[in-house]
């Protein structure tokens, strides 16, 4: 049977039969990979601790017709800081869910993979208030549906932008405005995110603008996916 090696981030797992799980990875060279991890639910399984969601691994799999079979796994990063922090987990889950919906099986996706591992590393280092929004906008950008930020998405005028409408594909000027009203700082933050000044955007302190970025990024992602991101809408944990 043919085998392949790749890096991967575990997006989700699902029970299969008595003691197995189907593990969904996103990988740079093979896109989304769904593989069976045999015996992983048994206490003595050596795979168990290595194939939890939010784990960055290198793996070797047998290539199957529909599902591959996990043969060997080595952990690169557990992102322990995320999995032990209830406040960081929702953002990580939303990232994984979005990637799961965007990634295509067996189609190389190096950009997507790099964006996800980078975002998880940043999340593990600290909680930038704009991180999730930035990640979703970068994902949309990679898919070719990034927001229009330099001029009005409707009339292309170089006027001050005052609203965001996911149906129009970006920010709108005063005369075309529809959708969500937004602050000038929000427009600037999104410009930084899609314009290559991510580090600067991530350093922004929590504000109305950072909350707006996350909200409009989630809305746009959901509009393009044509479904809700479940992780983004769950009741927040106790404070």
Partner 1 sequence: MFAGPIQELVDELGRLPGVGPKSAQRIAFHLLEVSKEEALRLAASIAEVKDRIRLCERCFNVAESELCAVCSDTRRDLSIVCVVEDPRDVVAVERTREFHGLYHVLGGALNPIDGIGPEQLRVRDLLVRLSDDGIVEVILCTNPNLEGEATAMYLARLLSPLGIRVTRIASGLPVGGDLEYADELTLGRALVGRREMSG
Task: Using CB under 8 A, list all residues that contact partner 1.
Answer: 12, 17-18, 43-44, 46-50, 52-54, 75, 78, 80, 83-84, 86, 89-90, 93-94, 96-97, 100, 230-231, 234-235, 237-238
Shortest reach from residue 47's CB to partner 1, in Å: 8
Shortest reach from residue 214's CB to partner 1, in Å: 15
Shortest reach from residue 40's CB to partner 1, in Å: 10
- Measured from the CB atom, the residue of 86 and 183 that comes closer to partner 1 is 86
- Measured from the CB atom, the residue of 74 and 200 that comes closer to partner 1 is 74
Closest CA to 219 of 155, 124, 132: 132
DSSP string, 92-146: HHHHHHHHHHH--BTS--HHHHHHHHHHHHHHHH---TTHHHHHHHHHHHHTT-P
> What's the token pair of residue 44?
């003595």
Shortest reach from residue 234's CB to partner 1, in Å: 4
- Measured from the CB atom, the residue of 165 and 222 that comes closer to partner 1 is 222
d(CA 201, CA 130): 7
């Amino acid at each position: 049977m043919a085998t392949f090696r790749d890096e991967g981030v575990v997006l989700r797992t699902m029970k299969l039969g008595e003691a197995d799980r189907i593990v969904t990875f996103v990988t740079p060279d093979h896109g989304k990979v769904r593989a069976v991890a045999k015996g992983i639910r048994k206490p003595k399984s050596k795979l168990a601790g290595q194939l939890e969601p939010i784990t960055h691994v290198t793996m070797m799999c047998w290539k199957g017709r529909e599902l591959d079979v996990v043969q060997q796994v080595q952990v690169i990063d557990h992102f322990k800081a995320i999995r032990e922090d209830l406040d960081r987990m929702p953002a990580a889950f939303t990232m994984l869910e979005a990637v799961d919906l965007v990634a295509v099986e067996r189609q190389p996706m190096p950009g997507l993979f790099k964006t996800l591992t980078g975002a998880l590393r940043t999340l593990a280092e600290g909680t930038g208030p704009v991180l999730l929004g930035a990640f979703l906008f970068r994902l949309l950008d990679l898919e070719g549906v990034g927001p229009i930020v330099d001029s009005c998405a409707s009339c292309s005028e170089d006027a001050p932008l005052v609203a965001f409408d996911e149906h129009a594909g970006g920010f709108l000027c005063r005369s075309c405005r529809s959708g969500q009203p937004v602050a000038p700082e929000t427009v600037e933050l999104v410009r930084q995110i899609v314009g290559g000044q991510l580090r600067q955007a991530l350093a922004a302190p929590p504000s109305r603008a950072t909350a707006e970025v996350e909200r409009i990024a989630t809305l746009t992602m959901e509009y393009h996916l044509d479904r809700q991101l479940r992780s983004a809408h769950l009741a927040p944990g106790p404070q």
